[in-house]
Structure 1
Amino acid sequence: MKAEAKFIEVDIQSLQLDDINPRLPERLKGATDKEVLNWMLSDATLIDLMASISENGFFSGEPIIVISNNDNYTVIEGNRRLAAIKLLANPGLAIISPKAVEYLSIEAKEKRNIPKKIWVYLVKERNEVENYLAFRHVTGVKQWHVISKARYLNYLYQQKPNKTESIYKALAKEIGSKAPYVRRLLIGYKAFEIIQSRKYFNIPDLDEESFDISLITDAITMHSAIAEFMGIDMESEAPFENINLAKLKEVTEWLYQKLSNGKTRVGENRNLRVLNKVIQNNSARDLFISGEKNLKEAAELTDLADENIRMYLTRSLQNILEAQKIVHRSTSPDKNDKKVADEIIDSADIISRYISKKIREREIF
C-alpha cells in the first residue's frame, strides 16, 4: 500500500540539499553540501534571504518538501531556504561572502531566529510532486532561470515513454503551459546539451553558468534560416537528426565568442533577425562567414533595409494620423512645431522620390 504524504517535524541536521536540483549546473551533480552552499552564495539573493530570516525568523508558511533518504531527508523543494538556515547555523561553511554570512549568523543567534527543527512535507517519491514543481517554477510565481526550466522540462520529457509531437501537449497540460513554449524550451535544451558535450567548442570563458540558453533557443525556434543552416528541421519530430555540427559550431561562435571589444559577432538577441536575413542571402552569408564583413555590413546586401523602411514608414504614418486627429485641439502651437511638421514633409518627399525612382528602374528592366 502506498504511503500517504504527511507533515512531520524534523531536525535541521537531518535535512540534505538536493544534489540533482534542476537549478544546479552539471558540474555540481553529486557535490557536497559545502560546494552547493557556496555556489548558491554566488547569487546575492541568498544573502537577502538570510538577512530576512535573521531579522524576522524562519517563515514556515510555504512547506519544504522532502523525500526520505535512509535516516535523513533530501529536500526537493526549498533548497534555498534550507541553505540559508544551514549557513546561519554554521557560517564557517561560507567561502563566498564569509564576512556577510558571519555577521548575519551572529545577528540571527542573538535574536534566536535560527530554527533547530522545522515542519516539512514528506512524500514517498519525487514523481508525486513533479508537476507541482514544474507549475511553480516553470510557469508559476517562483520561476527559475531559463536553463533550469529547460533542464527540468527535459527531465519530465525523458520520463515519457513515447517521444512524439503529442508529448508537448501532454507536458504543457500537466504544468499549466502551452505546447509551443514547452517544445521551444526542450529544443533549446537539446542544442545546449550538444554544445556542452562538445565542451562549448572551446570558446574561452564559456560554460554552463555563462551560457545564455535563450540565444540559441531563439536562433533555432524563431529564425528558420538559422535553423536550416545548421541542419535542424523544425518540422520534424526529430529536429536534430541531421544536424551539421560544423555549422552549429559556427553559429555558437557567432553568438557566444567575445571579440576584442567584448561583444560577439551577433551581439544582442534582437540581431538574430538580421543574422537570419544574412544567412538567406548567399553573398551576404559568405562575406559574413569569411569575416570580410560584420553583421551590419552584410545586412546591407540583403532586403532588410526595405523591411526596415516599411516598418518605419508604417509607424510614422500611424503617429502622423494620431497627431492629425487632435491637431484641432491645439491651443498654443509654436514655431518649432511648424518646423518639425515641415521637416516631416521634406523627408517624406525625399523618400517618396527615391522610392519612385527605384520602382521606375525596376519596371524598365
Structure 2
Amino acid sequence: MSELRDVRSIGEQRWVPLRDLLLDPENPRLPADMQGEDQEDLAVHLELGFDALTVAESIASHGFFGSEPLIVIAENGSDRWVVVEGNRRLTALLGLVDPKIRTQFANPSPWEPLAAQANMSYEDQVPVVVLPDRAAATPIIGFRHISGILQWQPYAQARYIARLVDEDHMTFAEVAEMIGVDRTKVGNLYRDQAIATQAREMGIETGPMEEAFSLLTVAMSTPKLRDHIDAPLGSKAVPGEAPIPAERASELKELVTWLYGDADVEPVIGESRDISKLGNVVASKIGLHALRERVTLEAAVQKVKDADANPRQRLMLRLRTGKNSLSAALEDIDDFVGEAEVNDAVDEVRAAADALLAALSRD
C-alpha cells in the first residue's frame, strides 16, 4: 500500500489583526498616477470604482468568509502585511471599521448603518494566507483575474502582464503558460499597455484610454490603424522598448484623439464597431485628409466613397442616399410637426430639391 501524502499547498494560513493589513499600492486596478498613494486615497478609489459597498453589505450580514482568505506578503521593514489579492474585500473592511475613511467615500450614507450592523474594529482578526513574495502569488492572481471568472478590466490585465514581463523578466510564453491564456493575447496586451505608457510619457492624457482600454485593443487588432502608427504585432513587441517609432509620435497622438477625444474635440468614433470604418478611412489619403480637417467620421467615409466613384455613380449614390434619408425621416416627422428647427430643416431640403429640379430644366 502506497504511503499517503498531503496535497501540496502554497502559503501559510494565519489570522492577523485588521490594523496590520495594507492595501496594495501596486494593485493593477489602480490608475498609473495613483501608484504609491496613501492608504486612505487607495481605499477611496477602490470603493468608488469597484463596488466595495456590495462586499461590505455581505460582510455586515453574514461575516467574513474564512474560505476566502486574503493573500498577503510581508511589507518591507515592518510587521504589517500587504494584501496582493483581496483589495476590494479589504476596502470593504476598512470602510466598516474606520469612520475617517468611509466619510471620504463618494456616498458615505449607506456605510454608516452597515458599520453599526457589522460592529467591527481594527483589532478583529482576519484570515490570510501568507506568501513569501509577489512571485508566489502570480499563478493564482493571473489565473483568477485574466483567464478566470473574476476577470479584471483589460487595462488592469495588461498592466499585470507588463509587471511579469518587465519586472520578473518572464517571456510571453512563460506568462501565457502560468496564467492560462494564449501567448498571442499576452503579447497584444503587453504591446497595448506599452503604447498607453508611451502616450502618457509624450504628455497625452491617457485617463480615458485607461477607462476604455478595449477601444485601443480593438484598434490594434485593425491592421490599417496599426500600420498608421507603425505598431508591431504583439508577438513582435520588444520588452522595455517603446513600441511606436519616434517619427510616428504625431500619428499616435491623432489616433488617441480619434478614439478618445481631447480637451478640444470629441472622439470621431461613437462605439467600438466604428473602428473598422475608421481604419478604412485612415488608409485612404482622401479620408485621412478629411479627418485631419476635423470632419465627422461619416463625412470622411462619404468622401472616400465619392473618390472611388465616377461622376455619374457619385451622383446616383448621393441621390439615392438623400431619397432614403428623406423616406426614413417620414417615420419620425409626425412627432415634431410645428417645431421651428424641424420646419427650417424641411425648408432647406425643399430648397435643395428645387435647385436639383432647376438644374434638370436647364437647356
TM-score of the alignment, normalized to the shorter chain, above 0.5: yes
Pair 159,287 (structure 1): closer, same or farther in 2 beyond 3 Å: same
Identity of aligned residues (%): 24
Of the three residues 125, 130, 134, the one matched with 1:126 is: 134
Give the Cα–Cα distance (whole angstroms) in 2 for the partners of residues 78 and 169 of structure 1. Answer: 27
Residue equivalent to 1:187: 191
Q: Is 2:275 the counterpart of 1:276?
A: no
Q: Is 2:141 the counterpart of 1:168?
A: no
Q: Is the contact made by 1:18 and 1:76 (CA closer than 8 Å) also made in structure 2? A: yes
For residues 314-333 of structure 1, what are the structure 2 equivalents within 5 Å?
none
Residue equivalent to 1:219: 219
SS in structure 2 opposite 1:40? helix
Q: Is the contact made by 1:151 and 1:189 (CA closer than 8 Å) also made in structure 2? A: yes
Q: Is the contact made by 1:47 and 1:101 (CA closer than 8 Å) also made in structure 2? A: yes
Pair 237,92 (structure 1): closer, same or farther in 2 beyond 3 Å: closer
Of the three residues 83, 94, 115, the one matched with 1:105 is: 115
- Residue identity in the other structure for 1:189: Q
Residue 252 of structure 1 and its aligned partner are, at CA, apart by 0.8
What number of residue pairs does the alignment pair up? Answer: 290
Show CA shifts across 1:128-181 (max 9, x none): 11122111111111111111111001101114547xxxx323221111110111
- Residue identity in the other structure for 1:76: V
- Residue identity in the other structure for 2:114: L
Residue 233 of structure 1 and its aligned partner are, at CA, apart by 3.3
Give the Cα–Cα distance (whole angstroms) in 2 for the partners of residues 213 and 300 of structure 1. Answer: 28
Greater mean deviation of Cα atoms: 177-186 or 35-44: 35-44
Residue 91 of structure 1 and its aligned partner are, at CA, apart by 2.4
Give the Cα–Cα distance (whole angstroms) in 2 for the partners of residues 134 and 219 of structure 1. Answer: 25
Residue equivalent to 2:37: 31
TM-score, normalised relative to structure 2: 0.73
Give the Cα–Cα distance (whole angstroms) in 2 for the partners of residues 85 and 18 of structure 1. Answer: 14
Residue equivalent to 2:288: 285
Give the Cα–Cα distance (whole angstroms) in 1 for the partners of residues 253 and 186 of structure 2. Answer: 25
Give the Cα–Cα distance (whole angstroms) in 2 for the partners of residues 66 and 131 of structure 1. Answer: 14
Pair 81,14 (structure 1): closer, same or farther in 2 beyond 3 Å: same
Q: Is 2:16 the counterpart of 1:17?
A: no
Residue equivalent to 1:357: none
TM-score, normalised relative to structure 1: 0.73
Q: Is the contact made by 2:21 and 2:81 (CA closer than 8 Å) also made in structure 1? A: yes
Q: Is the contact made by 1:131 and 1:174 (CA closer than 8 Å) also made in structure 2? A: yes
Of the three residues 296, 299, 302, the one matched with 1:300 is: 302
Give the Cα–Cα distance (whole angstroms) in 2 for the partners of residues 34 and 237 of structure 1. Answer: 37
- Residue identity in the other structure for 1:98: P
Residue 258 of structure 1 and its aligned partner are, at CA, apart by 5.8
Show CA shifts across 1:249-281 (max 9, x none): 111111111699x95212211111001111222
Runs of 5+ consecutive residues of structure 1 not aligned to the other structure: 307-365
Residue equivalent to 1:135: 143
Pair 210,236 (structure 1): closer, same or farther in 2 beyond 3 Å: closer
SS in structure 2 opposite 1:43? helix
Residue 60 of structure 1 and its aligned partner are, at CA, apart by 1.6
Runs of 4+ in 1 over 3 A off after TM superposition: 112-115, 159-162, 208-211, 235-239, 301-304
Give the Cα–Cα distance (whole angstroms) in 1 for the partners of residues 199 and 243 of structure 2. Answer: 12
Pair 83,259 (structure 1): closer, same or farther in 2 beyond 3 Å: closer
SS in structure 1 opposite 2:51? helix
- Residue identity in the other structure for 1:190: A
Residue equivalent to 2:82: 74
Q: Is the contact made by 1:85 and 1:115 (CA closer than 8 Å) also made in structure 2? A: no
Q: Is 2:59 the counterpart of 1:53?
A: yes
Pair 209,120 (structure 1): closer, same or farther in 2 beyond 3 Å: farther
Show CA shifts across 1:175-220 (max 9, x none): 111011111211111111111222325xxxx626864111122212
SS in structure 2 opposite 1:267? coil
Give the Cα–Cα distance (whole angstroms) in 2 for the partners of residues 93 and 294 of structure 1. Answer: 45
SS in structure 1 opposite 2:109? helix
Give the Cα–Cα distance (whole angstroms) in 1 for the partners of residues 164 and 263 of structure 2. Answer: 38
Residue equivalent to 1:247: 251
Show CA shifts across 1:89-116 (max 9, x none): 112212122222222111222xx69980
Residue equivalent to 1:358: none
SS in structure 1 opposite 2:110? helix
Q: Is the contact made by 1:64 and 1:77 (CA closer than 8 Å) also made in structure 2? A: yes
SS in structure 2 opposite 1:60? coil
